[in-house]
Chains A and B, each alone.
Chain A
Amino acid sequence: MQITNLWGLLVLGLIPVIVLIHSLKPKPKPLRVANLYLWQKALKDKKGGLRLLKININLPLFFQLLFIFLAALALINPIWIYESDIEGNVVIVVDSSASMKTRTPNGSRFKLAKAKALNLLNEMADVNKVMVIEAAHKPILHQNFTTNRSKIKSVITNLQPTEIPGNLTESIYFGLSLMNHERGDQMIVYTDAAGSSADELLSLNTDIKVERISGGNSNIGITKFNFRPDIEIRDQYEMILEIQNFNQRSAICPVNVFLDVQNIYSKTIGLKAGEKKLLVFPFQGEVKGIIEAKLEINDDFLVDNKAFAVIDDPKKIKILLVSKENYFIQKLLATRPNITLEMIPVIDPKYLAAHQRDYDIIILDRTFSPGINSGNIISIQTQVANLPFHFEQLKPSPVVQDWDRNHPVLRNLNLNALKILEFHQIRAHKDIRPIVDSDQTGLIYTYQKQNLKAVYIAFDLLKSDLPLKVAFPILIDNMINWLAPDPIPRENLIFQTGESVPVKLTLNAGQFLIRDANDNLHTINSHEREYLFTETKDIGIYSLIEGEKQTRFAVNLSDANESNIRSTYQMTKPATDVNKADPFEVEFYLWIILILISVIFLILEWYFWFKKQIV
């Protein structure tokens, strides 16, 4: 304790003055009464009696004296000096990457990291503000700088490990950007430093202290897994499985692959220390379901002992063709196994809503249509009432001049030699550009607004040589894929933990569900047809549920760096030990507290005085 202004004690001289003023209070006034016996009886009836009354009368004096005393204490400016190990604020970074799930004899590495962080909080001075950052595949700020210890403890206690490859470097840079180095802020990183590229950063930066969490070194893991169909042979698949031994000694590892519950592959492999083996094998037969590769070992890191893949039927697409007859379209769509085609000659307005609900795509071929507000439309020389395209007069022999090669509808198309007998000139909104342009007006347009997606073709397919060209099936396929895409591209149904999954909604933007690997349902409201799902924290099978349709995808760790649970970090400086760190003095000014307390006494004094007045 240090006192900086002894002159403040002079204020205590006010105490005798106050006492004197109170003693100068007029003596009890004489009051003549004719019925003293009634007054005495009244006093006797009152609980508490005279003594309590006297105390009550003197309460303001007591509070005034306390106020003077505390004000004098505040004026002498007492400073409470104590020792602390950390001078400025503290940024706690907790590594929550997959390797932190490594088992140790005392629990997981993550559990040990949280325990150490909580222990540090207990030893830290109350004045140090603390920030908590979780280092997963990206930095997550859980708590900004605060002195509220219980809040920080609660945040740390509630941290959960992930199965995501870590990105410690980015989290450290993020933390460093929030630190004030002149103030003496420090960062304490709780990490196993496994597979980290932050070793140099950790070693050289003096503001960073590393609490390395060790324990559990045995691991053999799957570092790659895929199961894909052979594009040339029907019902032929091939699997690729990469397994690596991260131990310092040789090991034998039984490997099993299951299709749902059926074991479709089993092998025991021997792996030398640090050896990596790639297994590729074909699989003949109809495959539909979840494929799980499993290492039948019990090492310290279980996350990479499993990997998943999904083979599901392609998405069924229902198409309504409104046409009197169109041989080419009928023929083409009938060949597609995942397409259900129905055909009607004209569209009845009263069933329009039902059609929009029941069919993924409606093809309007040389017919007429009432206004359509939602759905996926291919309009072939058909005027749709509410769309901003108006057919004008028929013109002969347009020559294709240019087309948007990057547009998904025109991908891989060559329309150079396309011959068209006649076409309808289209007057479109000025902001809408055709994707296929001719020497006159546009020949093909696309339109997308809220829940409506449309492709406008200005000419009769049968009055062109397009159906006879290779471009025709590609164009139709492109249009179907653009109008009703797979929610997740079928060629890529395996993701890495932490990777964002792009989701394309089939019809209406709105609510859809994703069931994660732990069977938790995520309800997602999207205002767009495309959404990026980022909650791939755990390995396993995820399901995208959109109405009655379900699309499954697999999430694996598949990261050799993360599977290498041995730390590569070289301890070039001693680990943080708050007990051994050089302590420094922290000054805590007490005058604010004293002033606050004295003001409280002053308010109490006023309260009792006021109470006396109103009674």
Chain B
Amino acid sequence: MIKTRIDTFEAESFIDESFLRKIAKLKILSQKKVYGMSKGEHKSRKSGTSIEFLDYRKYHIGDDLRYVDWNVYGRLDKLFIKIFSAEEDQNIHLIMDMSNSMSLGSPSKATMAKKIAASLMYIGLSNQDRVSLSSFSSELGEFKPPAKGKKLYVPLLNVLLQMKPEGETGFNDSLNQFANICKQPGIAIIISDLLDPAGITEGLTTLRYGHFDVHLIHVLDNSEINPTAKGYFVMQDIETMGNKPMSIDHKVLNAYQENIRQVIRETNLFCGKNKITYNLYDTSTSFEDFLLSYLTRGALKLEI
């Protein structure tokens, strides 16, 4: 009981309350039509019973007679069913990279990724969307299936807060596993530093194939984008724990920066080609600004 109370306090203080109130008015819209489990506020790929007329079709046995257009029957003596655009709730899948590389930075990339995820989670739950939460490192880790209701925010936030960065990154394997497990497509928001020498394209392609509307939030620490450290170092890979003595001068720095820029360029290009929304987040900037400014430019189609 005491622990629950502490967790609640910790969860509520994780993000500024006023900011949460501000973003509660936002909606996350998918660029695709959603497959929901119950009626909601989002247009579904299924026809349904909302007030927006979609089409006619011939009556089949078992169809709800309430949707037969009796006027047409009176004129044509044939039964036609009126089809309306169904408005369903949408699934928002928050997929967190919790590999060891996310622990880098101060504050760490993982912390900032959690804040972004918590905010998006709050937006989804406030709008009666079904929010799932999962994490991955070398493989898919914890998976909280989609659920709706604002009261789930604190429990989900606690789960989020308990996620610890560990292990190596297995981006492609993890997303493949997620696509297999999750049979309710929706908006898949992947928050990761994308630092996987094996690449990321395979996992993203799998999600696209599974009808997910994929949003990629690329979280990088500023020291990874614009490193300044010069001198003689022993470089320790935070995931593989491999060591490499290295003297860094401006030429090495320039070469590294060119490499990281190329990674970002190529990722952006790939996302553009595959209709994946790509956003780069530098953890040196505030995540609030990132959400309010950067995402309103069209990334997540926030609707105020």
Contact = CB atoms under 8 A, between A and B. Distances in A.
Interface of B: 100-102, 104, 193, 195, 197, 224, 229-240, 242, 244-247, 249-253, 255-256, 258-260, 263
25 contacts: A28-B233, A28-B234, A28-B245, A30-B233, A31-B233, A31-B234, A32-B104, A32-B236, A33-B235, A33-B237, A33-B238, A34-B224, A34-B239, A37-B237, A38-B260, A41-B259, A42-B256, A43-B255, A45-B259, A46-B252, A47-B251, A50-B247, A53-B247, A615-B230, A615-B249
A23 interface: no
Interface of A: 28-43, 45-47, 50, 53-54, 56-57, 612, 615
Given A41-B259, A57-B232, A32 B250 contact: no
Contact of A33 (B102, B236, B252, B253): B236
Nearest to A30: B234
Contacts of B246: 39, 43, 50
Contacts of A37: 197, 237
Given A28-B232, A42-B252, A46-B252, A33 B104 contact: yes
Given A30-B234, A33-B236, A38-B256, 19 more contacts: A31-B235, A33-B235, A34-B101, A34-B102, A34-B195, A34-B224, A35-B224, A36-B236, A37-B197, A42-B253, A42-B255, A43-B252, A45-B258, A45-B259, A46-B255, A50-B247, A54-B247, A57-B247, A615-B230
A41 B258 CA distance: 10
Contacts of B237: 33-34, 36-37
Contacts of A56: 249
Give the interface SS of chain A, mostly helix, strand, loop or mixed.
helix
A615 B254 CA distance: 11
Contact of B242 (A36, A45, A57): A36
A254 B75 CA distance: 157
A467 B2 CA distance: 152
Contact of B240 (A29, A36, A45): A36
Contacts of B238: 32-34
A45 B253 CA distance: 11
A45 B104 contact: no
A565 to B, nearest CB: 78
A29 B255 contact: no
Contacts of A46: 251-252, 255
A36 B245 CA distance: 11
Contact of A31 (B102, B229, B250, B255): B229
Contact of B250 (A28, A38, A40, A615): A615
Contacts of B232: 28-29, 57
Contacts, number: 88
A382 to B, nearest CB: 93
Contacts of B240: 36
A40 B236 CA distance: 12
Given A29-B233, A30-B234, A46-B252, A38 B245 contact: no
Contacts of A31: 229, 233-236
Contacts of B263: 38
Contacts of A45: 255, 258-259
B137 to A, nearest CB: 12
A29 to B, nearest CB: 5
A47 B255 CA distance: 10
B236 A30 contact: yes
B193, B251, B260 pick with most chain A CB within 10 angstroms: B251
Contacts of A57: 232, 247
Contact of A42 (B100, B234, B236, B259): B259
A57 B253 CA distance: 16
A43 B253 CA distance: 9
Contacts of A42: 252-253, 255-256, 258-259
A47 B249 CA distance: 12
Contacts of A40: 244
Nearest to B232: A28
Contacts of A35: 101, 195, 224, 260
A410 B229 CA distance: 102
Given A28-B232, A29-B231, A39 B224 contact: no
A47 B251 CA distance: 9
A227 B232 CA distance: 99
B234 A39 contact: no
Contacts of B251: 46-47
A28, A30, A57 pick with most chain B CB within 10 angstroms: A28
Nearest to B257: A42
Contacts of A54: 247
Q: Nearest 4 CB-CB pairs, A to B?
A: A34-B101, A42-B255, A42-B256, A36-B237
A615 B247 CA distance: 14
A57 B238 CA distance: 27
Nearest to B247: A53
Contacts of B244: 36, 39-40
Nearest to A33: B235
Nearest to A36: B237
Nearest to A615: B250
Contacts of B224: 33-35
Nearest to A44: B255
A39 B244 CA distance: 9
B249 A39 contact: no
Contacts of A612: 249
A29 B258 CA distance: 24
B247 A39 contact: no
A315 B195 CA distance: 108
B181 to A, nearest CB: 27
A28 B245 CA distance: 8
A53 B244 CA distance: 15
A422 B256 CA distance: 115
A37 B199 CA distance: 12
Nearest to A38: B259
A44 to B, nearest CB: 8
A38 B253 CA distance: 11
A33 to B, nearest CB: 5
A54 to B, nearest CB: 7
A59 to B, nearest CB: 13
A603 to B, nearest CB: 22
Nearest to B239: A34
A262 to B, nearest CB: 90
B245 to A, nearest CB: 6
A35, A36, A39 pick with most chain B CB within 10 angstroms: A35
A31 B233 CA distance: 6
A377 B220 CA distance: 104
A53 B246 CA distance: 9
Nearest to B249: A615
Contacts of B101: 34-35
A56 B230 CA distance: 14
Contacts of B247: 50, 53-54, 57
A34 B193 contact: yes
A537 B279 CA distance: 94
Contacts of A33: 104, 224, 235-238
A45 B239 CA distance: 23
B261 to A, nearest CB: 11
A23 to B, nearest CB: 13
Contacts of A43: 246, 252, 255
A30 B238 CA distance: 11
Contacts of A34: 100-102, 104, 193, 195, 224, 237-239
A52 B259 CA distance: 22
B239, B246, B260 pick with most chain A CB within 10 angstroms: B246
